[in-house]
Structure 1
Amino acid sequence: MSNDLNKDVRKFIYDHLYSFAIPPTPEKIMIKFKKDREEIITVLVSLHDDHLIVFDQKIKKIMIAHPFSGIPTSFVVKSSKDMKYYATCAWDSIALHFTLEDDVEVEAYCHYCNDEIRLILSNNQIVLKIPEETIIHFQEPAGKWWDDIMNTCFNTMNYFCSKEHLEKWIQKNPSKAGELVPDDKILVLSQFLYKNKMNLDYVRPSVEQTKEKFNHIGLTGEFWKI
């Protein structure tokens, strides 16, 4: 399968998500590129294997094109153009600001008490956060994220409305204790990994480049080994 077709299909997926907030079906991709089902499924599997999308081969559905979720979630991101998108997790709800290159409003919930959380991002910064004490917790070590990427994204990267509520949640779920990721580091990682996702020639940063970025911003130790 040609690399050009892979690039074109990936771009089409992102353009479709940008315009409609849902991923295209394999059939829609087949029509767009005038290819048969086997060819398009092969491309989607290849994009999945390259960690460029998350494609469920059992149900033949694009589940994730980071930072977009292919299904509804509790992480809702509204753009200045009145589009509403779903992110897979707390991190991706912030990352959509960089992918869309637009001001966004995030609506989410505390993973412990279910109270509403609201953020506004503009000019690569979080300019409003309600409650101000809101934090982000990563449950899974970085080296395990792609072992089960859907579980990682949909279940393990969450907002908490305060450190107190995170601590209460960990008391109930001690095996799920992970790491807090400060806002400044989330913003740097989001820009590093997601800023050029809408570009045809987007290239996913290598493992070595990602390691260097982790180290540069102080994400060190066993949890961040990849």
Structure 2
Amino acid sequence: MMKTSIDIKDVECNEEILTPEERKDRIGILNLMLDEGGVLPISKCSKFKTLDSLIKKKKLILDEQEKEIQFAYPVSGLPTSHHITLSDGREYYSMCAIDSLGSYFTFWQDLEIDSVCSTSGEPIKVVVKNGEIVHRSSPDINCIHVDLNAFENWSACC
């Protein structure tokens, strides 16, 4: 039987390497990406004092030529197979299927995930409320964790 609840104690968070100000700025940048609807020009981030530090710590992934933030986990500024709708109505794409599930713990909002299986191409829908999966489009949906260090383009296989 698939576990359908997510206990916050089970979620490993690597934010301990961020200072409190970096954590606050990271969430602010994520929210701004959602409000802007995609990639975020660096010029719109001047109010975030820890921007350079977040870039150095690889919490923000830039297109340096275009001077814009393309990715800030779990948010992708570019379309992916993983579309998220938050309970406040904002929508975005997540980097991968696992990031989609973890989005609840980033934004602390109920959400709907519309995705596509990378193997079968079948549509997938998952609804998360209060940190629990309350709906999934199939009882056979499984999440498999893979050692991502073994793949150069790991976001394409998740």
CA RMSD after TM alignment: 2.9
Question: Partners of 1:108 and 1:72 in 2: how far apart?
Answer: 11
Give 1 or 2: higher helix fraction.
Answer: 1
Equivalent residue letter for 1:126: I
Tell whether the 8 Å contact from 1:97 to 1:103 is kept in structure 2 after alignment: yes
Deviation at 1:51, TM superposition (A): 2.9
Tell whether the 8 Å contact from 2:40 to 2:77 is kept in structure 1 after alignment: no
* Aligned residue runs from structure 1 range 1-226, under 5 A: 10-30=26-46, 32=47, 43-44=51-52, 46-139=53-146, 141-142=147-148, 144=149, 151-152=153-154, 154-156=155-157, 158=158
When residues 49 and 110 of structure 1 are mapped into structure 2, their CA distance, relative to the original with a 3 A threshold, is same
Tell whether the 8 Å contact from 2:34 to 2:91 is kept in structure 1 after alignment: no
When residues 97 and 21 of structure 1 are mapped into structure 2, their CA distance, relative to the original with a 3 A threshold, is farther
Structure 2 residues without counterparts, runs of 5 or longer: 1-18
Structure 1 residues without counterparts, runs of 5 or longer: 34-39, 159-226
When residues 60 and 137 of structure 1 are mapped into structure 2, their CA distance, relative to the original with a 3 A threshold, is farther
Q: Which moved more, 1:76-85 or 1:4-13?
A: 4-13
Alpha-carbon displacement from aligned partner over 1:63-103 (angstroms, at most 9, x marks no partner) = 21111111111100111222211101001111111212111
- Highest Rg: 1 or 2? 1
When residues 4 and 104 of structure 1 are mapped into structure 2, their CA distance, relative to the original with a 3 A threshold, is closer
Tell whether the 8 Å contact from 2:110 to 2:129 is kept in structure 1 after alignment: yes
- 3-state SS in 2 of match to 1:137: coil
Question: Partners of 2:23 and 2:106 in 1: how far apart?
Answer: 17
4+ runs deviating over 4 angstroms: 3-9
- 3-state SS in 1 of match to 2:134: strand
TM-score, with length taken from structure 1 = 0.52
Deviation at 1:125, TM superposition (A): 1.2
* Identical positions, percent: 25
Partner of 1:220: none
Q: Number of residues paired by the alignment? A: 140
Question: Partners of 1:6 and 1:57 in 2: how far apart?
Answer: 21
Question: Partners of 2:77 and 2:121 in 1: how far apart?
Answer: 23
